[in-house]
Amino acid sequence: MNIPQALLPKSSANGFPRRRGDREGGARLENKVQSGKPNQGRNQTTGEVAGGKAGGYENSSRDRLVFLTTCLIGHMVEVHVKNGSIYTGIFHATDAEKDFGIILKMARMIMEGTSQGNKAVTDFVSKAPTKILIIPAKELVQVIAKDVAVTSDGFASELQHEKHQELLIDSVISQSRHVGMERELERWVPDKDVPECPELVNIFAGSWNRNWDQFETNQKLFGVQSTFNEELYTTKLERGPQMRELEKEAMRIAREIEGEETQDLHLAEERGFDLHDNLDIDEEMRYSSVFRGRGFDDSGYEEEEDIMLDSHNVETFGDSSDSLSRGQVDLTSFQSSDGARISSSTSLVDEAPSSQAAIGADLYHTGFNVQSKQLASEIPSESFSVSDSESRIQDNLLGEHGGSSDAKGFAQKQSPYEDQQLSNSIDSQSLLNDKFEGSDKAGPPANPTTLPQANFISKVSEKPTSSGERSECPAASKVNGETHSVNSRGQPGSSTSSNSDSVAAILASSGPGLSPSSSVGSLSSEKSTLNPHAKEFKLNPNAKSFKPSQTSVRLPSPVSDGSFYYQTQATPVPHMHMPVNYGIGPSFPGHQPVVFNPQVAPIQSPQAYFHPTGPQYGQQMLLGQRPVIYYQPEMQYKGREY
């Protein structure tokens, strides 16, 4: 039988200091190994039970003693000694060969026997616990142990109990025999005799309590002086006489947006619409922010790119569609004719309602990964609230993106259109930029007509799909996704830009001025009006102003950052490789040449504004850190759920 380590004989008793219990002095206790005989052995030797006087009985009684003392190992016991003192400690060993002296670990005296009688020791000991306490058999009076496990059930339950008491280490947890063991959950009750700490009081129990100042409380309780300044983290709202109007306006817009119909599950839930007609929507789909593709085909690369580009789209277009593969936006736009681009470029202004999506749908061309929906939706948004400088900047940003994404898209696709489109888009870009900012050099006049208009027109006739609608074709779905992504999922702004670029260009040429309501129709007319003789961009006063969505904050828009940085007057060179690699986010396919259009210069922003090493956000970076001159106070941050 194996002998547990703990029971191996220690060095001779001389090594151990005398303990209080050792009144006899000189009494040595030999630490013999306690023979832990397995019970099987005892079964054989013990034959009889009560009453037997046979020779075996004595063996059995001895065996029982040995057995029981073994059961006590590791157990907390109380040992009474001759002089009346009582010790408590962990039972470590007994001298089973001889007279069963006891060894305790971490022992404490809890009762002191003196000549005057026993005296209890106060709970808070005056001495540290004794690491090892030896009680010779002569001193021993009795050993008391409670809740000792003797049988196998006892052991099992004790094991369980213990394992849950102590700190669990990995190997303990991973031991398979503990699998499935659960512990009884108990409701937490505060200690009875401990008065409730002020910090535990639930200040928020009951009605919403706005009078609690955490800093003040901290100061009071702990003397911590706070250096928190809210303005470091957010834009300071200028409260003045115009606040009222602006507020009202903002409220109106917010209400409109929040009341919009949506196909996006999350948005719908937030707004209280019930979209759950599809029963296999589980909790994850409803509440997770993980996008699972909804059954559409997302090729990896496309997704990447799209993700980058999507964010701007999302903000612009609002939440008109549910989540579909965002990635499609860019690529599809590239492949589509410029008409598709139109919508994207106008993305800035508005989170257009589903009508925009419908427009996009119209533009959808089977052959292409068209984000027509999105594009369509963008068209209305084209009504820039020009006063909104931000949108303009957004435009620029988008323009940049557009250029880059165009390039990327083109590189990826093999369509013969591509090159032409690229040049067109670039031209459009410059055209657009010229229109918008009156910046200097304009590229060769964009000739959108060279673009395959036919495609668009054919698509225009298509029944517009609502934003939430998912078409069977992957491409269609992509369109949907686009729009959708525009709406709610914060995506990098770059995607938007690409779209917006081309779209903006085309819009510029085609004479924008569409109202959001004229989604489908306008698109059709748009297509037909696309001509080389571009008209000037006309501001649509009915357009909704752009509201930055929260998502835009989160997403890096590396391309835009890079583009901002270069505010040169250099000649626009198509296909110029801009060293745009400022903190490029992981989603940026760096191997794609980025077409930089230096003409896209921000209108008002000072150079410092677009700091490449600054926060990698789109317009979000304006807030808090820089002099916010682009956002009107009415721009409320509408927290977008995702």
Partner 1 sequence: MEGEEFAVGCLLSIKTTLGDEFEGQIISYDRLSNILILQEGLESGPRRNIRLLKANYIKEFSLLRQDEDPLDVKKCFLDLTSLQAREDSAVRQAEADSERFGVGVTSEAQNLFDALSKTLPVRWDKTVIVVMNEVRVSSPYLPECVSGGTPAANERVKKVLELERKRMQTRTSQ
Q: Which parts of 386-405 interact with partner 1 (CB under 8 A)?
A: none
Sites for partner 1 among residues 588-607 (CB under 8 A): none
Q: Tokens 């259009």: give the residue.
A: 597
Q: Which residue, 166 or 184, is less far from partner 1 as judged by CB?
A: 166
Chain-centre distance for alpha carbon 58? 70
CB of 214 to partner 1, least distance (A): 16
106 near partner 1, rule: CB under 8 A: yes
Q: Considering the rule CB under 8 A, would residue 76 count as an interface residue with partner 1? A: yes
C-alpha to C-alpha distance for 519 and 533, rounded to whole angstroms: 22
Class of residue 271 by CB neighbours under 10 A (exposed 0-12, middle 13-18, buried 19+): middle
For 439, 441, 605, 637, the CA distances from 599, given in Å and listed in that order, are 7, 7, 14, 30
Contact residue for partner 1 among 90, 121, 411, 628 (CB under 8 A): 90
- Could you say which of 15, 25, 26, 51 contacts partner 1 (CB under 8 A)? 51
Binding mask 110-139 for partner 1 (x = CB under 8 A): ------------xxxxxxxx-------x--
Q: Interface with partner 1 by CB under 8 A: which range of 162-170, 306-314, 328-336, 477-485? A: 162-170
- Residue 87 CA to its chain's centroid (Å): 55
Those residues whose C-beta lies under 8 Å from the C-beta of residue 452, and which sit 6 or more positions away, are 337, 417
Q: Annotate 498-546 with three-state secondary structure.
A: HHHHHHHHHHHHHCCCCCHHHHHHHHHHHHHHCCCCCCCCCCCCCCCCC
User: Which residue lies nearer to partner 1 by CB, 4 or 17?
Assistant: 4
Smaller CB separation from partner 1, 173 or 251: 173
Closest to partner 1 by CB, 73 or 386: 73
Tell me which H or E stretch contains 120: strand 117-120
Q: Which stretch binds partner 1 (CB under 8 A): 50-58, 226-234, 318-326, 416-424?
A: 50-58
Q: State which of residues 110, 149, 539, 603 lies at the interface with partner 1 (CB under 8 A).
A: 149
- Of residues 171 through 210, those in contact with partner 1 by CB under 8 A are 193, 195, 197-199
- 612, 565 contact by CB (below 8 A): yes
- 223 binds partner 1, rule: CB under 8 A: yes
**Residue 408: Cβ-neighbour burial (10 angstroms; 0-12, 13-18, 19+):** buried
Q: Cα(471)–Cα(9) distance, rounded to whole angstroms? A: 81
In the range 430-459, which residues lie near partner 1 by CB under 8 A? none
Mutual angle of helices 354-363 and 474-487, in 10-degree steps: 150
Q: Which of 19, 20, 92, 489 contacts partner 1 by CB under 8 A?
A: 92
For partner 1, the binding residue among 24, 30, 99, 256 (CB under 8 A) is 99
Q: How far apart are CA 295 and CA 575, in angstroms?
A: 36
Question: Looking only at residues 314 through 333 of this chain, which bind partner 1 when binding is defined by CB under 8 A?
Answer: none
Least distance (Å) from partner 1 to the CB of residue 65?
A: 4
Residue closer to partner 1, measured from CB, 14 or 176 = 176
Contact 561, 583 (CB under 8 A): yes
Residue among 31, 46, 466, 495 that touches partner 1 (CB under 8 A): 46
Q: Which of 11, 116, 151, 613 binds partner 1 (CB under 8 A)?
A: 151
